[in-house]
Structure 1
Amino acid sequence: MEDFSGEQVKRHVPAKHILRVINLILDGDSLRDALRPFYSHLGRPSIDPELIIRMLVIGYVMGIRSKRRLCDKVHLNLAYRWFCRLGLKGKVPDHSTFSRYGHGKFRESNLLRQVFESTVERCLKEDLVSGEGFAVDASLISADANKVRSIPAEDWSPQVARAAGNRAAQEYLETLDNAAFGAASPVQPKFVAKSDPAAQWTRAEESRPYCVFATNYLIDTKNSVIMDVEATRAIRQAEVGASRTMLDRTEKRFGIRPDWLAADTAYGNAENLGWLVKKRSIIPFIPVLDKSERTDGTFSRSDFEWDEAHDQYICPEGHALKQFRRNYSDPNRGQEPSGRKKYRAFKATCQVCPSKEICCLKAEARYVTREPHEEAREFARECRKTNAYKVSRDKRKKVEMLFAHLKRILGLSRLRLRGPNGAKDEFLLAAIAQNLQKLAKLRPQCVFQEPAT
């Protein structure tokens, strides 16, 4: 890479150009150290990995999606040449280099994850992260798959995937037991795209059906810094599982566990709320996913008062609904495998009750069920009544604004790479670009110390 300092070119780069700030953040030495085991000390010198990363950063920060177009832009643009440390005479690598590095050294070394985490570390150093409150959400990104050439799910199998022989099909087979993809749900989509079978066939946005992946963001609500990012299938189970993965990874990597987490109703199932409250001691500012409310005018479960001391419900008429009427020698007798409990009233009591028509018109006696982790669900309902919950609702919109910026400004409305690994790479690079832009905006060049040349 000729003209390393690039002083002749640097004079032509505007002082407030975003790449001047980003240039002070990226650490090329750490990139080389991470990839050093993957290079041989024999033969012709390889292309510097820092050059590839810097070109990728330009592409995602500036919304240049095509690698061919990116190479042309770097060749012609003086600011891009200076940022990539090519000087005036440096040669721009061929567009095919990105595929070789992306499918090879970058994935083997997990380099993109390291670069992303380095941006989070810099945000922590610059006091852009409070760690008090996080928000999580997912957004659908169209996959590089043609739904017209998709086949019905009943005609798809691992044998068909092996026969397809492409890289995306191989990655699909490797993720069949992955909780974020194949093992997220036993329910298969209606159609499968042979070119990218891991993509989810959906019409979630009430439009024409298409194949998608889901990008999941965990952000700190102070300055919308992306703390973690994960690629999954576009189904609720995978997205909820990704939120737990990102919370655990953030705590392990940076030692940060938020006081509260804001999310929409998709994350409000009993199991997830129980995990947040009991295992992680995180306040869930999340609407409870509750299907027990009735709309036919009869009493709902919320009309029954829970008596924890006596393990029973009290109906609006003051009668007790119990799970068991006598003690059993076996404490597990009558327990459902799912953990759900059923509380019943006496038949004789319900038959003469004046409220029977608005309680159990067709049934002989009324019963209500108590879901597992009901204490956590009740806690989430109480949290929703606080002023802090209203504040969290406004802050949760910041993650939606990041998704809008991702699609409209960075141009990531459709993936160019296929397979689960391709989706992970693109989502990581986009998150890197957004965090770098956040640093450049909130900590402009005057804050940093310009290195001596």
Structure 2
Amino acid sequence: MYVTYSRREVEENRKYYEMMYDASHHLVKMDQVMDWDFVIRKLEVFYPHRIGRPTKDPIMLVKILFIQYLEGFRSVRFTCNQVKQNATYRWFLGISPQEKIPDHSTISKFLSQRLRNVAFWEELFQHCLRFIQQEGFIANETWVADETELKANANKRVREILVEEKVIEEKDEDLVMINTHRVRHGKKPLQAKGSKIEEKQTNISPVDPDARLSVKHDQRGRFAYFEHRIVDSLHNFIIATDVTAANVPGHRKLIGQIEQLKRSLGQYAKEIALDSGYYNASLARRLFQRGFFVYMSYRRFTTKDHPKCRRYQFQQVNEDLYACPCGVPFYYKTTNRQGYHEFKPPKGSCQSCPFTKKENQDRVLRISIHQEIYDQLREQRVSMRGKILRSVRPSTVELSFAHSKELHGLRYARYRGVQKVKAQVLMTAIIQNLKKWAKLRSLKQVGLHLTHQIIEETTV
């Protein structure tokens, strides 16, 4: 049966700690900005109202979880032990000195049985975000996105081989561009290929099958998850977050997160800053179609070309003609299915070239069909605005990840399974936003706040 303390009972119990609690603690400020009525309404659906024994106050259980993630405690058991001996924590819970703290197993069952999916935490995250936006602390002009690795709770030496069927489909948009170039030059258009199914072997952990091997920080590989995060550049609020296995790159998730942000915030931002992990032409094209100014760090791919005869050293004469560093003309020949224009010199022109890779073999110049997108990315990257966005990243999303890992225990996944890890990430994001929101609220009271709108006072 659903039972919770009334606001009056909480205030009466807090009088016992008036001379003991720390009024400047983050929990005290967070309690002032948090909408606990919303939490009560969302938790009511998980409990019957007239059947069963009275439950432990669900609001108290949520508050204990908030304490754990705010302080970065390693476990619920350790958190409960700390709450027993800390007056500020008991003041935040709103319980009397004689009342016992709930057992750690009660909180674990509350997470695993009542809140078994992440819907509650997602709704709470979006609810806090709406109030922060209404107070003007989210500019919604410049977004900064990145991904980070969370080490999974699994032994990297214990592995199993999983054979998965992977469906490989040809991109219709790329095929249309390829055939457009081929028809323009008198070539036959390529026929569309059907979907291709390939068997792929994947290493999985028997204790956490959702995690995947990552070599980002360990060359031998370790099981991990990726968190994909977007922050607003004004006050570094976390406005979007998602969790996937470590084999899902960030450019696959970014468009979905951006569309979700448009629904929640009402519009797209004007600018977005990304690192080299998002260097993808299809992603850049879709961002340009949505009107973004994109700063995307360049990703240097490995090549076997001679260092003095790289692709970027060729000079474009016109659409169908390039000149190599030695002045040899390269003429357009075809556009292949892989999405590259092929340019070749007259036969035998590279035999006496000092930069040739193999004797008696002419060089083939390949230019991507997305070269215009790459050129546009470079123009925006080297522009003055692009250089400013490059300097913004360390103080926004990188700092947000640093706070999550160093202060709130997000370096490691506490749970197993992508849904439980996502709940951990959402709770961390809620805590970070509430802490920053409470700080800005206190500064606003003395007139030291910053919003995205310029407030002009009219003099009479």
TM range (shorter): 0.7 to 0.9
Corresponding position of 1:379:
376
- In 1: Cα distance, 2:57 partner to 2:64 partner: 11
Residue pair 2:306, 2:357 contacting (<8 A) in 1 also: no
Query: Which region of structure 1 is more displaced relative to structure 2, 3-12 or 285-294?
Result: 285-294
2:343 corresponds to 1:344: yes
Cα 1:360–1:104 shift into 2, 3 Å? same
Q: Is the counterpart of residue 82 in structure 1 residue 88 in structure 2? A: no
Is the strand fraction higher in 1 or 2?
2
Q: Corresponding residue for 1:451?
A: none
Q: Which residue of 1 aligns with 2:137?
A: 128
Residue 9 of structure 1 deviates from its aligned partner by 3.5
What is the TM-score of this pair, normalised by structure 1?
Answer: 0.79
**Counterpart selection for 1:55 from 64, 75, 80:** 64
Q: Structure 2 unaligned runs (5+)?
A: 168-197, 447-460
Quote the residue 2:183 is aligned against. Answer: none
Q: Structure 1 pair 402/265, CA: closer, same or farther in 2 (3 Å)?
A: same
| Residue 40 of structure 1 pairs with residue 51 of structure 2 | no
Check whether the contact 2:153–2:412 (CA below 8 A) recurs between aligned residues.
yes
Identify the range of structure 1 (58-67 vs 251-260) with the bigger mean alpha-carbon deviation. 251-260
Q: Work out the CA distance in 2 between the residues paired with 1:7 and 1:40.
A: 28
User: What letter is aligned with 1:24?
Assistant: Q
Is the contact made by 1:201 and 1:212 (CA closer than 8 Å) also made in structure 2? yes
Output one character per residue of 1:409-429: Cα deviation in whole Å (capped at 9) or x when no partner: 223322221111111011111
Determine the C-alpha separation between the residues in 2 that align with 1:419 and 1:388.
Answer: 41
CA distance in 1, matches of 2:246, 2:118: 27
Is the 8 Å Cα contact of residues 344 and 365 (structure 1) preserved in structure 2?
no
Tell me the amino acid that sits aligned with residue 347 of structure 1: P
Identify the residue that residue 275 of structure 1 maps to in structure 2. Answer: 286
CA deviation profile, 1:289-345 (whole Å, cap 9, x unmatched): 3537665234222233456xx642422437352245xxxxxxxxx651x4x132323
Q: State the Cα RMSD in Å.
A: 3.0
**SS of structure 2 residue aligned to 1:321:** strand
1:279-298 matches, cutoff 5 A: 280-291=290-301, 296-298=306-308
Q: Which amino acid aligns with 2:252?
A: G
Question: 1:304 maps to which residue?
Answer: 314
Task: State whether residues 323 and 341 of structure 1, in contact with CA within 8 Å, keep that contact through their aligned partners in structure 2.
Answer: no
CA displacement 1:331-364 (0-9 Å, x = unmatched): xxx651x4x132323524xx35798443676465
Question: Quick check: 219-228 or 398-407, which moved more?
Answer: 398-407
SS at match of 2:147: strand
Deviates more, 1:224-233 or 1:84-93: 84-93
- 1:277 maps to a residue whose letter is F
Q: Is the 8 A contact 1:347 1:364 kept in 2?
A: no
Residues 72 and 445 (structure 1), Cα distance of their counterparts in 2 relative to 1, 3 Å cut:
farther
- Which position in structure 2 is the counterpart of 1:419? 417
Q: Does residue 27 of structure 2 align to residue 29 of structure 1? A: no
- The answer for unaligned runs of 5 or more in structure 1 is 159-175, 178-184, 325-333, 449-453
State the match for 1:14 in structure 2. 22
TM-score by length of 2: 0.78
Aligned match of 2:246: 234
Q: Give the secondary structure class of the aligned counterpart of 1:358.
A: coil
Aligned mates of 2:405, 2:200 — CA distance in 1: 29
The answer to whether structure 1 residue 96 and structure 2 residue 105 are counterparts is yes
* 2:16 equivalent to 1:4: no
Among candidates 307, 326, 329, match of residue 319 of structure 1: 329
CA contact (8 A) 1:313 1:322 kept: yes
CA distance in 1, matches of 2:381, 2:303: 17
1:138 corresponds to: 147
- The Cα offsets for residues 165-197 of structure 1, whole Å up to 9 and x where unpaired, read as xxxxxxxxxxx99xxxxxxx98655x4221112
Give 1:7 deviation, angstroms.
4.0
**Aligned-partner SS, 1:414:** coil
Aligned counterparts of 2:431 and 2:383: Cα–Cα separation in 1: 36
Question: Which residue identity does 1:271 align to in structure 2?
Answer: S
Change in 2 beyond 3 A, CA 1:57/1:371:
same
8 A contact 1:321–1:367 mirrored in 2: no
CA distance 1:441–1:234, shift in 2 (3 Å) = same
1:318/1:199 CA distance change after superposition, 3 Å: same
Q: Is the CA contact (8 Å cut-off) linking 2:351 and 2:359 kept in structure 1?
A: no
Q: Partners of 2:138 and 2:107 in 1: how far apart?
A: 32
- Aligned equivalents of 2:400 and 2:118: distance in 1? 28
In structure 2, relative to structure 1, the CA distance for the partners of 1:355 and 1:441 (3 Å cut) is farther
Q: Partner residue of 1:431?
A: 429
Secondary structure in 2 aligned to 1:384?
Answer: helix
* Contact 2:251–2:280 (8 Å) recurs in 1: no
Which stretch of the first structure deviates more once superposed, 243-252 or 8-17? Answer: 8-17
> How far has the Cα of 1:433 moved from its partner?
1.3
Alpha-carbon displacement from aligned partner over 1:57-100 (angstroms, at most 9, x marks no partner) = 11111112211121222233222122122233444222122232
Q: Which position in structure 2 is the counterpart of 1:163?
A: none
| Structure 1 residues 306 and 244: alpha-carbon distance in aligned structure 2, compared to 1, 3 A threshold | farther
Percentage identity across aligned positions?
24
